[in-house]
Amino acid sequence: MKIHVDQLGYRPDSEKCAVLTAESEPKGWAYLKSEDGTTSVELSISAFGSDSYSGDSVWTVDFSDIKSEGRYFIEYYDCSRSGGEAESPVRSDVFSISRTVYQDVFKDLIHMFYFMRCGCELPEKYAGAYHHKSCHDGPTLRYDDGAMLPPMTGGWHDAGDYGRYTTPGAVAAAHLLYAYELYSQKCPDLLIPESGNGVPDILNECRYELEWLLKMQKEDGSAYHKLTTEKFSPFIMPEEDREQMVLYPISSMATADLGAIAALGARIYQRYDMAFATKMKKAAIAARNFLADHPDLIGFRNPPGNATGGYWDWDDRDERMWMYAELYRLTGDSKDLEMLQLLSGDNNPPKYPPELLASPFFKKLNLPQSVDKTVLGWGQVGGLAGMSVVFAPADTFPDELVSVFFDAFREKADSLLALTKQNGYRLAMPRDGFVWGSNMNVMNCAATLLTASFLTGNTEYVTAAEENVHYLLGRNPLDTSYVTGHGAHAFRNPHNRPTASDGVDEPYPGLVSGGPNAHPMDEPARAVIPEGAPPMCCFLDDVGSFSTNEIAIYWNSITVLVFAYFA
Ligand code: 9MR
Ligand code: ZN
């Protein structure tokens, strides 16, 4: 028998439930007890049945009625054996019921981006034990023509590796900017070099990435896909990685994402720095003009010899859609609106590149015809277009267009709501979400539900989103909190180069693990996770497990977007 709880805890007025797993039916009694001994409430145990995501037999105990703030645990007494001699009870981890239960973790989730800064020293004052010297500040070799360009410093390291990639960088910055736009009053002060300059710290941190993204734009308005070494570095500190930085070719995805984030940035920063906002507006328009002249997909594949992340994507309709949505909000130009209408309409089939159509794998890939309008990932950004449209001031976009996105959010949210009732851990995510970076999908589903709740007022969507938060913070079959430094059993061994080489035992706090992956690709995970294991269990807290336990800026950022609501 095990009792799984959110290891941070629950908000007082929310639904609250713990998951009990056992070999056979628990016939004893469960109690919610306060740590100070003043409260002891008997809870009823209800059967869920067998849960396919985890392989567990599940019972639940609901304690939603307990709303008093405090520190609690759940205790189960097995009195099923005759003789009356009670065995020692099974206890859950101690957790809080508190209005502010997610505030500290929210702050660390944002502060994480400071640790990911590239091209500057991280002094002890801001980085504590994780301080290190400046990195990746040498000259840049342009792949296209072999030209040696000045250093292109700045931005965040992408993930456990030290690459910097345009599409995931733009998406991560977007999650933070939308989080700020929707919940500005909740965004905390951080301790970063810019703190106290009169600009909210989440915007200060985000600007560090935006300044670098602007450098990734070519004179013709297009954007380079990535800036990385040729191969991944060994597990060394970033300043020890002195391999040549290479600027790889452009892609239409990178160009459109850059146009979108620059337009969004221009909108948000104009209150604080008009010159910076104007620079971004120009960049957005240049990207748009380039893409208008290049309507076909400009894909990206790693050139021979290059083995860093590919971030390949076969479809740029969603990136273009997001760009036109943000541009229209900025410029009000009817041509931008027309393009957005065209791209988000039904009469817009994908234009997969000929080499893909000719490949025998094409059918297996099962690529979609229509653009998903709710996804917020690195490769599919239709949901970012959606957020741009549905959260715009009334009358910005025509009603029919708003309805297209509104309906997409509601439909997706309804299907997620159904799922949350079908699995024992109440996770609102389809089974096929357990891929590399599943926690991004978990948070994406939560963000979709929250958006739908804003649109409809349906609080059931909020409850379902909150269940995903509980899953992330430890109410899962592995009893693992997937955020470092938060929760009784937080993962500790991320696939992250600085963590493995900085000589500090604990990883820095606020890192989100990629999470369970039903198709692990790395040796350590494959060695211990049996083929066909239940998806929620396909995880290994091991530094070598890049496909289940890496970290990435866009996994943190989507988590920031969700926690901004609950913090
Ligand atoms: O997050 C990406 C995941 O969705 C892909 O399945 C995986 C393999 O292509 O790549 C992940 O992104 C990695 C990137 O390619 C390089 N930096 C680390 C990223 C996180 O693992
Ligand atoms: Zn660096």
Q: Which of 60, 75, 97 is the last residue of a domain?
A: 97
392: which 2 tokens?
Answer: 């715009």
Q: Are residues 34 and 163 in the same domain?
A: no
- Which residue among 495, 502, 522, 542 is the active-site one? 495
Ramachandran angles phi, psi of 296, nearest 5°? -90, 155
With 0-12 / 13-18 / 19 or more C-beta atoms within 10 angstroms meaning exposed / middle / buried, residue 211 is middle
Given the CA of residue 159, which atom of ligand 1 is nearest to it? 18
1: which 2 tokens?
Answer: 């028998």
Q: What is the residue range of 42's domain?
A: 2-97
Q: Are residues 302 and 263 in the same domain?
A: yes
Q: Are residues 78 and 115 in the same domain?
A: no
Q: Are residues 248 and 347 in the same domain?
A: yes
What pLDDT is stored for residue 371 in this prediction?
A: 93
- Which residue among 158, 313, 502, 550 is the active-site one? 550
With 0-12 / 13-18 / 19 or more C-beta atoms within 10 angstroms meaning exposed / middle / buried, residue 70 is middle
In a domain, 522, yes or no: no
For residue 167, the ligand closest to its alpha carbon is 1
In a domain, 483, yes or no: no
Q: Are residues 283 and 297 in the same domain?
A: yes
CB 109 within 8 A of CB 560: yes
CA distances from 542 to 309, 410, 491, 495, 550 (A): 20, 38, 9, 7, 9
What pLDDT is stored for residue 356 in this prediction?
A: 84
Q: Which of 50, 72, 97 is the last residue of a domain?
A: 97
- Pairing state of beta strands 45-50 and 57-62? antiparallel
In a domain, 87, yes or no: yes
The domain tally of the chain equals 2
| Helix/strand number for the chain, H first, E second | 18, 17
Q: Are residues 118 and 213 in the same domain?
A: yes
Cα(417)–Cα(414) distance, integer angstroms: 5
Q: How far is the CA of 168 from the centre of ligand 1 (A)?
A: 10
Q: Are residues 61 and 130 in the same domain?
A: no
In a domain, 217, yes or no: yes
In a domain, 210, yes or no: yes
For residue 163, the ligand closest to its alpha carbon is 1
Q: Are residues 296 and 437 in the same domain?
A: yes
In a domain, 494, yes or no: no
CB 413 within 8 A of CB 449: yes
Given the CA of residue 308, which atom of ligand 1 is nearest to it? 16
Q: To which residue do tokens 């497990």 refer?
A: 545
Cα(94)–Cα(325) distance, integer angstroms: 46
Q: How far is the CA of 307 from the centre of ligand 2 (A)?
A: 18
Q: Which CATH number characterizes residue 303's domain?
A: 1.50.10.10
Q: How far is the CA of 120 from the centre of ligand 2 (A)?
A: 8
In a domain, 538, yes or no: no
**Tell me, what amino acid is at 179?**
A
Pocket of ligand 1 (CB under 6 A): 158-159, 161, 163, 309, 311, 436-437, 546, 550, 552
**Tell me, what amino acid is at 245?**
M
Task: Say which DSSP state 535 is in.
Answer: G
Q: Are residues 139 and 164 in the same domain?
A: yes
156: helix, strand or coil: strand
Given the CA of residue 495, which atom of ligand 1 is nearest to it? 21
Q: Which of 44, 63, 97 is the last residue of a domain?
A: 97
Active site residue 541: yes
Q: Along the chain (567 residues), what's the average pLDDT of each consecutive run of 10 residues?
A: 98 98 95 97 98 98 98 91 68 98 98 98 98 98 98 98 98 98 98 98 98 98 98 98 98 98 98 98 98 96 97 95 98 97 90 85 80 96 98 97 98 98 97 98 98 98 98 98 98 98 97 98 98 97 98 98 98
Q: Are residues 90 and 110 in the same domain?
A: no
Q: Are residues 416 and 359 in the same domain?
A: yes
Ramachandran angles phi, psi of 350, nearest 5°? -65, 155
What pLDDT is stored for residue 543 in this prediction?
A: 98
* Mutation pick for ligand 1 pocket among 306, 311, 554 (CB with most ligand atoms within 8 Å): 311
Q: Concatenated DSSP letters for 88-129?
A: PPEEPPPEEE-TTTTHHHHHHHHHHHHHTB-SS-B-HHHHGG
- Which residue among 161, 313, 326, 502 is the active-site one? 161
The H or E element containing residue 375 is none
Radius of gyration of the chain (CA): 24
Cα(160)–Cα(157) distance, integer angstroms: 8
Q: How far is CA 469 from the centre of its chain?
A: 12
What pLDDT is stored for residue 82 in this prediction?
A: 54
In a domain, 154, yes or no: yes
Ramachandran angles phi, psi of 21, nearest 5°? -120, 140
Q: Are residues 70 and 114 in the same domain?
A: no
For residue 521, the ligand closest to its alpha carbon is 1
* Mutation pick for ligand 1 pocket among 157, 158, 231, 522 (CB with most ligand atoms within 8 Å): 158
Active site residue 161: yes
* Mutation pick for ligand 1 pocket among 116, 156, 157, 161 (CB with most ligand atoms within 8 Å): 161
CA atoms within 13 A on the CB side of 87: 13
Task: Say which DSSP state 249 is in.
Answer: P
